[in-house]
Homo-oligomer: A and B are copies of this chain.
Amino acid sequence: MVNVLLSSEPLSIQACADWVMSPEAGGIDIFIGTVRNHTKGRAVVRLEFEAYDRMAISEMNKIAAEIMVRWPLHKVLIHHRTGILQVGEIPVIIAISAPHRDAAFTACRYAIDTLKQTVPIWKKEIFEDGEQWVTPTP
C-alpha cells in the first residue's frame, strides 16, 4: 500500500506512523526532514518550498512503486510540504513498514535520496539579509 501527499498543511509524524503500522510488520523506519536554523554559518529565517504539483506527486508515486518492487515492504508513505516553513518545521516524512528492518532501512534511505534527485520541488532559503535557491550538493 502506498500513501503519497503534497500538502501546504503541516505534516503529522504520528499520523504517518499510524498509517504504516501493521500487524504484519516487524519494523518501521521513518525519515523526517526538518528545517535547520543555519546553512554554512548563515542564520536561516525560513524556507519557501515551490513544487510542480502534478509532476511532484507523480514522481513520488514512482519512487513508492519502485521501492515496493525492489524490497519486501508492507506500506510506503511519502509526504512533502509546500509553502513557507519556519525553522523546526517538517518539509518531508517518509515512513516504511516491512516484515524485517533491513528492508525498511534500505528502502527509506533510497526513497529520500531519490526524492532529492528527481521530485520537482524547490526550496529557497531566506536569511536576515538575503535569500537563495538551494542547489543540490553533489
Contacts and interface: CB of A to CB of B under 8 A. Distances in A.
Main secondary structure of the interface of A (DSSP, over half): mixed
A23 interface: yes
Interface stretch (A2-10, A25-33, A60-68): A25-33
Given A36-B25, A37-B23, A37-B24, A31 B105 contact: yes
Interface residues of A, number: 31
B29 A34 contact: no
Counting every copy of the chain, the complex holds 2
Contact of A33 (B26, B34, B105, B112): B26
A123 interface: no
A99 B41 CA distance: 13
Interface of A: 13-14, 17, 21-38, 87-88, 97, 99, 101, 104-105, 108-109, 112
